Structure 1
Amino acid sequence: MSVELRAVGVSLSGRRILHGISAQLSEPRVGIVGRNGSGKTTLARVVAGLIEPNDGEARIGGLDMARDRRAALAAVGIIFQNPDHQIIFPTVLEEVAFGLTQQGHPPREADAGAQAILQRFGKAHWAGAATHSLSQGQKQLLCLMSVLAMRPGVIVMDEPFSGLDIPTRMQLMRYLDGIDAQVVMVTHDPAQLRGFDRILWLEQGQLVADGPPADVLPHFEARMLEWGGMDDLAHLSG
């Protein structure tokens, strides 16, 4: 499974958000960095097929994600920054099974698939738990299991560890390490991407650097420190 971005351009409410982003992403772990307002989340939603570009296209395995929603359901899953914006069912089992029913599985098969993924993660005892009773870290794990149950080739994660404490982030990263799917993670924290294979750096909707973490992240961190040391905050208006 490979993500192909072909001159992707996006405008929202009359404002240009992305400008001609092109990249062929075949590496298992791809990170997208940039400061707030750089277009990271918009690009993540384009990859997941949730936003159709005004220009260019985003394909996974040769299929256009925005124009073929059935293909998108099978090919790509997305995990948002706030799990409360993603979880919609009262119990864990119902939440995990929902994606499988969306893919066309009968209810009994969907429940069996949901039970299997809970068992895989050692969380079979969560099946009847109320989703509202889970901690934020547990909710993020629930979202991850729900996506994995659908067996996508690509998982897009938009700031998935924001607001979580260090031990919880470490535990979720260990779960992430064991995932077979390609992971495309959006973050502003370079520390989360040290073991990744490739980094895309966005600024003002443009791709300013693309390469291995050792090549891209030191320059990104230096730029962030430079801006952070300035007294004039005009550059943060984007």
Structure 2
Amino acid sequence: MATVSQIEIKDLAFAIEGKEILHGLTLSLAERRVGIVGRNGSGKSTFARVVSGLVAPTSGSVTVNGHDLAKDRRAAIREVGILFQNPEHQIIFPTVGEEIAFGLEQQGLSKADAAQETQAVLDQFGLSHWKEAHIATLSQGQKHLVCLMAISAMKPKLLVLDEPFAGLDIPTKAQMNRYLSLYEGSLLHITHDPADLEGYDHVVWIDQGTLRQAGSRPEVMNAYLAAMHSLGEDDDIAYLSR
């Protein structure tokens, strides 16, 4: 059964060594499929980490389903999973089965129960023959899929996708989207490619660490693409700060 997560963000700010990456963000999200767009360096990946509870905001607050995940790691493991751009940053174990079972054991399952759940998720994805496969032999897209299965096995209510399709070819992206359709929780998908968000319910545009616009996909995407095409006519990449 599909579930929808409630994300509440109030006056969020995040800074590193005095440099403000995010500031003044206030949002209430309760849609099943939410996209986050913005230029490179706009703060999207930082936003993903703050929402996931991997880093705490400098000021303001973020809750997912009523939990402050930066302060409650047990709730974070239960409520949110995150899929990074580079699967090498997530994968720990040599085989697919071991990688999937690890997260389940972290949730408190016995080895026997974790093995049973691992088999169930492999069966769900139609990949039971992958259980003993060595991850080092897999393609980049296949490694992404291992990460997705490992997260899905833990059944978080919200899955945060941080540019997971970067570097993937068109057929692999299509296959990943098909597998993502099996995920029953909410998706928060960070991307710079509008095509990745086809069919999404709600889109948030972050620009230079601030909220530029939020609303329906057509409304926000039309404004975002118009602004990006306008910037493309400028020559800002040739500008040197002094």
Fold shared by both chains (TM-score > 0.5): yes
Judging changes above 3 Å, is the alpha-carbon distance between structure 1 residues 123 and 235 closer, same or farther for their aligned structure 2 residues? farther
Deviation of 1:177 (Å): 2.0
Whether 1:154 and 2:158 are equivalent positions in the alignment is: yes
Deviation of 1:235 (Å): 7.0
Deviation of 1:71 (Å): 0.5
Identity percentage over the alignment?
51
TM-score (norm 2): 0.95
* Equivalent position SS for 2:174: helix
TM-score (norm 1): 0.96
Rounded Cα–Cα distance in structure 2 between residues aligned with 1:82 and 1:229: 31
Task: Return the match for 1:205 from 203, 206, 209.
Answer: 209
Rounded Cα–Cα distance in structure 1 between residues aligned with 2:180 and 2:94: 25
Alignment RMSD, CA only? 1.3
Whether 1:61 and 2:65 are equivalent positions in the alignment is: yes
Whether 1:91 and 2:91 are equivalent positions in the alignment is: no
2:27 — aligned with what? 23
Task: Return the match for 1:43 from 22, 42, 47.
Answer: 47
Rounded Cα–Cα distance in structure 1 between residues aligned with 2:208 and 2:154: 34
1:108 — aligned with what? 112
Q: How many residues align?
A: 237
Deviation of 1:223 (Å): 1.2
* Equivalent position SS for 2:199: coil
Whether 1:123 and 2:123 are equivalent positions in the alignment is: no
Deviation of 1:209 (Å): 0.3
Deviation of 1:236 (Å): 9.6
Rounded Cα–Cα distance in structure 2 between residues aligned with 1:109 and 1:213: 41
- Structure 1 unaligned blocks of 5 or more: none
Rounded Cα–Cα distance in structure 1 between residues aligned with 2:189 and 2:94: 28
Rounded Cα–Cα distance in structure 2 between residues aligned with 1:6 and 1:192: 27
1:193 — aligned with what? 197
Rounded Cα–Cα distance in structure 1 between residues aligned with 2:136 and 2:239: 40
Whether 1:230 and 2:216 are equivalent positions in the alignment is: no
1:220 — aligned with what? 224
Deviation of 1:231 (Å): 2.4
